[in-house]
Chain A
Amino acid sequence: MSKPKIIYCHCAYAQVVPKEVKEAVLRKLCEANVPFEAVADLCESSARRDPSLKRQVESGQIKIAACYPRAVKWLFAAAQAPLAPDATEVLNMRSQTADEIVERLLQPDLKSNLPTSQESGPKANQSAPL
């Protein structure tokens, strides 16, 4: 099986992803001399239904360096490029270190981690009453 494809989001238009993390991830990807797809901002790509997203999803296994897996899952769905739960690993540049992220991106194996319906958290009708 071929290596998972890599997508990197630069989250260009907000300050929510630490600059030092996203720059370190991008720099290390460049230095590793691996092929990858970089989007200026995954939110904008989703809003535009960028065909690049669909092309990447259809190519097989995929690793995405962006933000929270739940947000990434539904950004791709909104772009009409739904991610395959068993073929997607999302690395979170808001909460993980650059070293952790790059290590996972460059490993040939894939640890799928898209949240399922149950894993998105308790539902309102399941929570304890006030």
Chain B
Amino acid sequence: MSLKDQKTLRIVLAETPVQTRFETLQKLLENGYTVTCTTESGSVATESPNVLLIQKDSAPGHIVEQAESARVEREAVKQGEWKPWFPVIDYDRCTNCMQCLSFCLFGVYGVDQDHKIEVQNNDSCKTNCPACSRVCPEAAIMFPKYKTGPINGDIVTTADLQREKMKIDISALLGGDVYAMLRTRSERAQSRFSKERDPDKALKERQRCLVKLAEAGDIPAEVLMALPSPEEIAQRAETAKAKAAAALQNNSK
């Protein structure tokens, strides 16, 4: 079942004493709950089975127990067991070039019915790996939990874009002819892409670049270790490229 289809439980805390409110909130949040903290007395809309109203002056620990019991009873998911690490697209910057779709080997990206790039499988993303954001020429891909800007969502600077331009070279090596389908290319780029038509060479370049990225501290070692076999990488890269090419073709119609 996808993340968005899983049932969650929201807690409504009504008239909780100020003295214990912080501790209660903290415990509930650390257990993954969304909490509505209301100061209003009287009726609180809790008609949804996804909402648990807690009004009594209970000890914080007891409130968490109540919440857990209700969650299990209502078959709601336990939040917080998955570290929410996934790309977030800044559509103010995205040019729908499909480089991310072409690059990602884990099927995180897809296109919507209007052939627009979107994140489709958040939980397929490899925790702490920001590699796709490094290949985006517009710095349009964010990982809000990343340590530094602009990947963490900070404003993009000209200096960031200069770095991104250098990364395009890497992404061209990795992605191959998807980039070639984009707009005009320089003679130098044409020469580079033609070399990549040799599949062995392209694969070697991809591996070399992945090692380079890992060395730069961008891809965790465990992600590299989790990469499939070279044959599988080649196959997935082909699939991703085909998806990107189809989307680009539809966009140009």
Contacts and interface: CB of A to CB of B under 8 A. Distances in A.
Interface of A: 10-14, 16, 23, 26-27, 29-31, 33-52, 67-75, 77-78, 94, 115-117, 119-124, 127-128, 130
B90 to A, nearest CB: 5
A87 B165 CA distance: 35
B247 to A, nearest CB: 19
A69 B155 CA distance: 9
Q: Which 3 A-B pairs have the closest CB atoms?
A: A71-B153, A121-B156, A68-B153
13 contacts: A12-B32, A34-B39, A35-B36, A35-B40, A36-B37, A38-B25, A43-B86, A45-B34, A68-B153, A70-B155, A74-B142, A75-B88, A127-B158
A127 to B, nearest CB: 4
Given A12-B29, A30-B22, A124-B161, A52 B153 contact: no
Contact of A40 (B80, B93, B162): B80
B138 interface: yes
Nearest to B183: A125
A107 B30 CA distance: 28
Interface string B1-40: 0011010101000000010011001101111111111111
Interface string B203-239: 0000000000000000000000000000000000000
A70 B90 contact: yes
Interface string B70-93: 000000000110111110111111
Contacts of A14: 83, 145
Interface residues of B, number: 63
A40 B36 CA distance: 11
Nearest to B136: A124
B196 interface: no
Nearest to B142: A71
B190 to A, nearest CB: 18
Contacts of A43: 84-86, 144-145
A28 to B, nearest CB: 9
Given A12-B80, A74-B89, A120-B93, A33 B26 contact: no
B157 interface: yes
B51 to A, nearest CB: 10
A16 B147 contact: yes
B96 interface: no
Nearest to B32: A40
Most buried by B among A11, A13, A35: A13
Interface in B113-145: 119, 122-123, 137-139, 142, 144-145
Contact of A48 (B8, B38, B139, B160): B8
Contacts of B90: 70, 73-74, 120
A106 to B, nearest CB: 13
A29 B22 CA distance: 9
A117 B142 CA distance: 15
A13 B79 CA distance: 11
Given A120-B90, A124-B138, A40 B33 contact: yes
Contact of A70 (B8, B83, B154): B154
Nearest to B82: A44
Contacts of B40: 35
Nearest to A37: B36
A41 B3 contact: no
Contact of B29 (A35, A38, A120, A124): A38
